[in-house]
């Protein structure tokens, strides 16, 4: 049986001209050989499988060639080239630094450097994965690398340039190899397929090139794998089946569902994808890439950024014309946010489903969404009731609002024992007065016309004029009249503190200081709807006052009560504002009831 050689070794380039995707570097090396301007040390760095070691071998063979061609290539006929091709050359030495990384290995290498070449001009030492050398080995290598003999040339190759000592970098000419483009990879795979007598669809080779992520060795390895699976006829369907890649068709269908606001169909498609074994993270990153490809397909000037086959390119162009630019911007933002939150999410499928619902409703939101900067994460009802069923509810809402308007305002009156006020209020005619209460309510002349209001909307800032505040109150009143009243739930102090801690845990990292302070304090309930946060200085009071609007809205939603109001107060000098530990709580309880100490001593209990 004939020995099988993988494509990555069989079709390894043997000349500079056959190197794929590194035209600038190979041209530079050929010109250096032609002019005789050779450095004593080179550093080839870049991703895996892009041709670093291959170029080092071609360079070593070419500089020792006895009769190079006029274009700077090796002749492959002289004794030096023949010895290299038959792997018996004594002028070219390869050292794997991953397994030979000690000081003794470098010392042995230094001893070999002194021996001049028997055939050819130079002895070339190729050290692969040089970043694996130990620090002591690097130091032992420094002097020889800086001043080697005239016949010695070092070529260092690495995938992690940042791990190499700066003293080594300063002694080398550095060549940065780039990832191989998709077009170059597809062209080389087509060449290999033609040499092997294999038929391959361009779209199938494009998928292989994308999967390789810029590495030619990876692309050829995947190519061999697909050839074994298909038996010599590579199709697009066979490639996505063998490589477990999501088909473009899923994303084209999903985008059509988004544009038609078909949320149910989008969720069913996601379920189909997950049932086939694909991960949700892989699906959402693919959707992000699809939205990006639609964006670049919309403008002919950016169409060159689309790295897909010809037939798929046409489908992208057709669908891109259906997608408005704001929709693509917002969809990309939502998908990217989902990708960032995926790893931390405990219910990953729900996170992806919520993202699909939000994207599907983007085209139906109209002007409610800000112009492509940061989409509002609002989920509208998927299934709506008929209009006839909703009209009776709206007709009964008007008398209920009028009947409950006055009690709602009166019940929100604050307790009279609040020591200090941060938030105050004025009516339309009266000037601003400072009061010791936490919140002051507006008094209208006609009680029947007073609507149900959020108490937080009635506050007046000292820094804002009264006219501006009156406009805010008027806008709040108009908004509240249009909202159908709902039943306000009763809550206690324990509920407020629970959601207080929950809000603190969700604050961004930029507000970690105030979040920690919120986690270490408890708020007290002044009356049925007003709670108070006590702080110890004016600076912290200003920070908490700035949180009042958003914190009130959050608690009103969580507690299901529209009258929840927050007040901030600075503590008195003799008042303690801190959280008590378990031992301190027990001591305070024992002062009120000495029987607790007897119980502790009798049972031999200890506090932790």
Examine residue 347 and state whether it is found in any structural domain, yes or no.
yes
Examine residue 283 and state whether it is found in any structural domain, yes or no.
yes
Please indicate, yes or no, whether residues 42 and 106 belong to a single structural domain of this protein. Answer: yes
Pairing verdict, β 152-158 and 41-45: parallel
CATH (domain of 353): 1.20.272.10
Q: How far apart are CA 28 and CA 65, in angstroms?
A: 18
Q: What share of the chain in percent tops pLDDT 70? A: 78
Examine residue 492 and state whether it is found in any structural domain, yes or no.
no
Strand-by-strand arrangement of the 524-525 sheet: 524-525, 530-535, 565-570
Q: How far apart are CA 149 and CA 156, in angstroms?
A: 17
Please indicate, yes or no, whether residues 154 and 213 belong to a single structural domain of this protein. Answer: no
Please indicate, yes or no, whether residues 301 and 415 belong to a single structural domain of this protein. Answer: no
> Which of these three, 176, 205, 232, is where a domain ends?
176
pLDDT (0 to 100) of residue 579: 55
Look at residue 281 and give its three-state secondary structure: helix
Please indicate, yes or no, whether residues 87 and 230 belong to a single structural domain of this protein. Answer: no
With 0-12 / 13-18 / 19 or more C-beta atoms within 10 angstroms meaning exposed / middle / buried, residue 441 is middle
Query: What average pLDDT does range 170-191 have in this prediction?
Result: 89
Q: SS3 helix, strand, coil % of the chain, rounded to 5? A: 55, 10, 35
Examine residue 475 and state whether it is found in any structural domain, yes or no.
yes
Pairing verdict, β 530-535 and 524-525: antiparallel
On the question of pLDDT at 450 being above 60, the answer is no
Among the residue ranges 96-100, 134-138, 222-226, 461-465, the one predicted with the least confidence is 461-465
Among the residue ranges 26-35, 431-440, 503-512, the one predicted with the least confidence is 431-440
pLDDT (0 to 100) of residue 466: 45
Q: What are phi and psi of 473, to 5 degrees?
A: -65, -40
Q: How confident is the model at residue 340 (pLDDT cuts 50, 70, 90)?
A: very high
Domain encompassing residue 421:
397-482
Nearest to 361 by CA among 428, 451, 263, 278: 263
Please indicate, yes or no, whether residues 171 and 60 belong to a single structural domain of this protein. Answer: yes
Please name every residue paired with 41 in a beta bridge, in sequence order, or none if there are none: 154
Instruction: Specify the residue for token string 């009798």.
Output: 602
Please indicate, yes or no, whether residues 60 and 168 belong to a single structural domain of this protein. Answer: yes
pLDDT (0 to 100) of residue 376: 54
Q: Return the structure tokens found at 598.
A: 């007897």
Q: Determine the number of helices (DSSP H) and then strands (DSSP E) in the chain.
A: 25, 10
Please indicate, yes or no, whether residues 39 and 131 belong to a single structural domain of this protein. Answer: yes
The total number of structural domains in the chain stands at 4
Please indicate, yes or no, whether residues 32 and 150 belong to a single structural domain of this protein. Answer: yes
Please indicate, yes or no, whether residues 118 and 47 belong to a single structural domain of this protein. Answer: yes
Please indicate, yes or no, whether residues 70 and 119 belong to a single structural domain of this protein. Answer: yes
Q: How far apart are CA 38 and CA 19, in angstroms?
A: 20
Q: How confident is the model at residue 413 (pLDDT cuts 50, 70, 90)?
A: very low
Q: Give 477-496 as a DSSP string.
A: HHHHHHSPP-PPPP--HHHH
Look at residue 96 and give its three-state secondary structure: strand
156 near 170, Cβ under 8 Å?
A: no
pLDDT tens track for 41-93: 999 998 888 888 899 989 988 888 888 887 778 888 888 888 888 888 888 88
Which residues fall within 8 angstroms of residue 212, CB to CB, at 6 or more apart?
49, 185, 218, 219, 222
Could you tell me which residue, 561 or 485, shows the higher pLDDT?
Answer: 561
pLDDT (0 to 100) of residue 288: 92
With 0-12 / 13-18 / 19 or more C-beta atoms within 10 angstroms meaning exposed / middle / buried, residue 24 is exposed
> Which of these three, 450, 482, 514, is where a domain ends?
482
Look at residue 518 and give its three-state secondary structure: helix
Please indicate, yes or no, whether residues 71 and 204 belong to a single structural domain of this protein. Answer: no
CATH (domain of 152): 3.40.50.300
Q: 78-82, 310-314, 325-329, 375-379: which has the highest mean pLDDT?
A: 325-329
**Angle CA 207–210–216, to nearest 5:** 110
Please indicate, yes or no, whether residues 158 and 20 belong to a single structural domain of this protein. Answer: yes
> Which of these three, 464, 482, 500, is where a domain ends?
482
pLDDT (0 to 100) of residue 404: 41
On the question of pLDDT at 356 being above 90, the answer is yes
pLDDT averaged over every residue in the chain: 77
């Amino acid at each position: 049986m004939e020995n099988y050689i993988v494509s990555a070794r069989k079709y390894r380039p043997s000349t500079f001209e056959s190197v794929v995707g590194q035209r600038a570097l190979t041209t530079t090396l050929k010109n250096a050989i032609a002019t005789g301007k050779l450095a004593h040390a080179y550093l080839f760095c870049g991703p895996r499988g892009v041709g670093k070691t291959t170029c080092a071998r071609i360079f070593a063979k070419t500089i020792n060639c006895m009769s190079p061609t006029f274009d700077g290539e090796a002749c492959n006929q002289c004794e030096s080239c023949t010895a290299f091709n038959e792997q018996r050359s004594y002028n070219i030495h390869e050292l794997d630094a991953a397994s030979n990384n000690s000081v003794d290995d470098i010392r042995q290498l230094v001893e070999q450097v002194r021996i001049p070449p028997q055939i050819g001009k130079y002895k070339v030492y190729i050290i692969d994965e040089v970043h694996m050398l130990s620090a002591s080995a690097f130091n032992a290598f420094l002097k020889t690398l800086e001043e080697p003999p005239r016949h010695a040339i070092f070529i260092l190759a690495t995938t992690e340039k940042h791990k190499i000592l700066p003293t080594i970098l300063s002694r080398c000419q550095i060549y940065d190899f780039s990832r191989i483009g998709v077009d170059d990879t597809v062209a080389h795979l087509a060449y290999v397929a033609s040499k092997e007598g294999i038929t391959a669809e361009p779209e199938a080779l494009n998928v292989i090139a994308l999967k390789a992520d810029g590495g030619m060795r990876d692309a050829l390895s995947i190519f061999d794998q697909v050839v074994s699976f298909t038996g010599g006829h590579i199709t697009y369907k066979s490639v996505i089946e063998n490589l477990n890649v999501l088909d473009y068709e899923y994303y084209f269908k999903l985008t059509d569902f988004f544009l038609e606001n078909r949320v149910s169909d989008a969720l069913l498609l996601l379920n189909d994808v997950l049932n086939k074994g694909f991960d949700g993270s892989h699906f959402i990153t693919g959707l992000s890439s699809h939205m990006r490809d639609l964006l670049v397909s919309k403008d002919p000037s950016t169409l060159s950024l689309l790295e897909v086959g010809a037939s798929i390119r046409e489908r992208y162009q057709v669908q891109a014309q259906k997608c408005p630019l704001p929709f693509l911007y917002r969809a990309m933002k939502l998908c990217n946010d989902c990708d960032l939150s995926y790893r931390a999410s405990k219910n990953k499928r729900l996170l992806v489903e919520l993202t699909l619902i939000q994207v599907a409703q983007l085209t139906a939101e109209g002007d409610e969404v800000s112009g492509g900067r940061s989409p509002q994460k609002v989920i509208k009802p998927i299934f709506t009731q008929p209009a006839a069923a909703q009209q009776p509810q709206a007709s009964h809402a008007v008398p209920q609002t009028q009947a409950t308007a006055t009690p709602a305002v009166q019940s929100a009156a604050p307790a009279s024992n609040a020591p200090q006020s941060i938030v105050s209020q004025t009516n339309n005619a009266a000037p601003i007065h400072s009061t010791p209460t936490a919140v002051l309510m507006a008094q209208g002349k006609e009680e029947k016309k007073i609507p149900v209001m959020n108490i937080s909307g009635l506050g007046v800032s000292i820094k804002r004029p009264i006219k501006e505040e009156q406009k805010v109150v008027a806008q709040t009143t108009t908004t509240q009249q249009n909202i159908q009243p709902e039943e306000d739930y009763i809550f206690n102090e324990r509920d407020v503190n629970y959601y207080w801690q929950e809000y603190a845990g969700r604050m961004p990292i930029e507000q970690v200081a105030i979040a920690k302070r919120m986690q270490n304090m408890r708020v007290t309930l002044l009356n049925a709807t007003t709670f108070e946060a006590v702080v110890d200085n004016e600076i912290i009071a200003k920070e908490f006052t700035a949180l009042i609007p958003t914190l009130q809205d959050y608690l009103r939603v969580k507690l299901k009560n529209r009258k929840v109001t927050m007040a901030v107060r600075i503590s008195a000098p003799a008042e303690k504002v801190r959280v008590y530990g378990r031992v301190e709580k027990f001591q305070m309880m024992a002062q009120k009831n000495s029987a607790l100490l007897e119980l502790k001593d009798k049972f031999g209990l200890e506090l932790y």
